[in-house]
Chains A and B, each alone.
Chain A
Amino acid sequence: MSSRSPYEYFGASVAGPRHRAEGRPNEDSWLGIRGAFGTLVVVSDGMGSKRDARRGAQMACRAVLDAVRAWHKAGSSSVDMLLVRIEPLWLALVAPATGRDCAATCLFALAHSRGQLHVAAIGDGFALRRTSRGVEWIVGERKGGFANETDALGYSALWTSRSFPIDGEAVVVLATDGVADDLLPERIEAFVQWLLDDFAGMAPAERWRTLQRELRNWPTPHHTDDKTLVVLAERRAMHA
């Protein structure tokens, strides 16, 4: 573990009731890691109708990590140069399956060791940044459209991304649509605060177990989706 990044993360992912009932695995995936590049969190949701959705999601996390490492090593500061690396890497990782067979959403946040926070996404779910000024949606604020309309890796979709100077107070939350679609938009700020108040202070193993339990016991009636939730925050914000 690198001591250079002041960022911490936690998260959890569970199979939804539909996959559990069908004896199928969780087709969401997530990753959190620290390194010379800083701290990275990724969430991905394998599209349910696709044959190799689970592998697509797992490889999405791996592709972002590989891309971040190569991009950081190359010394680039342009986030576009990072984003263009991801889908080709992912396609190589899922081969011989095709991108369409493995289509998966991909949302990530990178607290880069060179002082920038990058948040980027393809597909649904949400990525948001909370500061003392409130919540800022990077993706996932439902203004139009309907549930389950999504882009994904495998469709050459465009990334949505934002970059911010690292300021010590930001909290980033990423979630797949199983979480995002049932959260009340007007309660989102309180939801983020609840995550920090109730989970940030826990020991990692207890935190993971507790968050898994919360996701498994999701209260919205008839929910069926897999659910993944990840929090990334500067250490002071995490324990404020």
Chain B
Amino acid sequence: MSKLKEFTASSARPLPVLLLADVSGSMSTNGKIDTMNDAVEEMLESFGAEDNTRAEIHVSVITFGKEGAKVHHPLAPASEVRWSRMTAAGGTPMGAALDAATSMIEDRAQIPSRAYRPTIILVSDGQPTDEWQTPLKRLLDAERASKAARFAMGIGDDADTAMLAAFLATAEVRVYRAHEARQIKQFFRWVTMSVTQRSRSANPDSVIAVEPTNLDDFDF
């Protein structure tokens, strides 16, 4: 048998996806947290079912709510994630969640340099209750985290759309606004489609651009 195996990686290149999920108290109203749990579960199933791709999709979920920013699920191949549903309570410490995401992406032990550019998904239904400008600047200035593809969804009328737009920091992708359960699911299907297309593409670092305001035109 070839000795080459001794010198080469034994796993496919990871394509990391980090979900920053708002689990503040307001998410418990109108079934929002249940809908998000269902949508994330569906996304994980889709990622886990992806085979014969150029990249292996890895997922981590960082929640921010009563317990501060917390790694709800550490970064792991999507096919290995055993999903436990999120519960909603407390404030919206989004700044702490941004710092947690930056730390994870900058940590080469968690995301090796052979990984493809990560994707960060930020979902919130309210105003941050902690200082978020400095953590966001840290993320956008960080050597590696700044290169991540970013998606954002504001749920309901109270979502801080300006903050979410600052997180995207690009005119190419807009904040997706969701007002009903169907739209929350649609957003996650859009993200799922974008990530899985990347994982199958010739260059998984290229981000598939789909205008999120036109999602109704897409047959997922």
Contact = CB atoms under 8 A, between A and B. Distances in A.
Majority secondary structure of chain B interface residues (helix, strand, loop or mixed): loop
A18 interface: yes
Interface size class of B (residues with CB under 8 A): 20 to 34
A142 interface: yes
B6 interface: yes
Interface stretch (A5-13, A109-117, A157-165, A182-190): A182-190
A69 to B, nearest CB: 34
B179 interface: no
B182 interface: no
A147 B54 contact: no
Contacts of B114: 142, 146-147, 181-182
A154 interface: no
Interface residues of A, number: 30
B144 interface: yes
Interface string B19-63: 000000000000000000000000000000000111110000000
Interface string A167-189: 00000000000000111100110
Nearest to A179: B8
A49 B9 contact: no
A222 B56 contact: yes
B13 interface: yes
A18 B10 contact: no
Nearest to B206: A49
Nearest to A177: B114
Given A18-B202, A222-B54, A144 B113 contact: yes
21 contacts: A18-B54, A48-B202, A143-B113, A144-B144, A145-B113, A145-B143, A146-B117, A147-B113, A147-B115, A148-B117, A149-B117, A149-B147, A182-B8, A183-B9, A184-B7, A188-B7, A194-B4, A194-B7, A217-B2, A217-B4, A220-B8
Interface of A: 18, 48-49, 142-149, 181-184, 187-188, 190-191, 194, 198, 214, 217-224
Interface of B: 2-13, 52-56, 112-118, 143-144, 147, 202-206
Given A147-B116, A194-B6, A221-B10, 13 more contacts: A49-B206, A144-B113, A144-B144, A145-B147, A147-B113, A149-B147, A183-B8, A184-B7, A218-B8, A219-B2, A219-B8, A220-B8, A221-B56
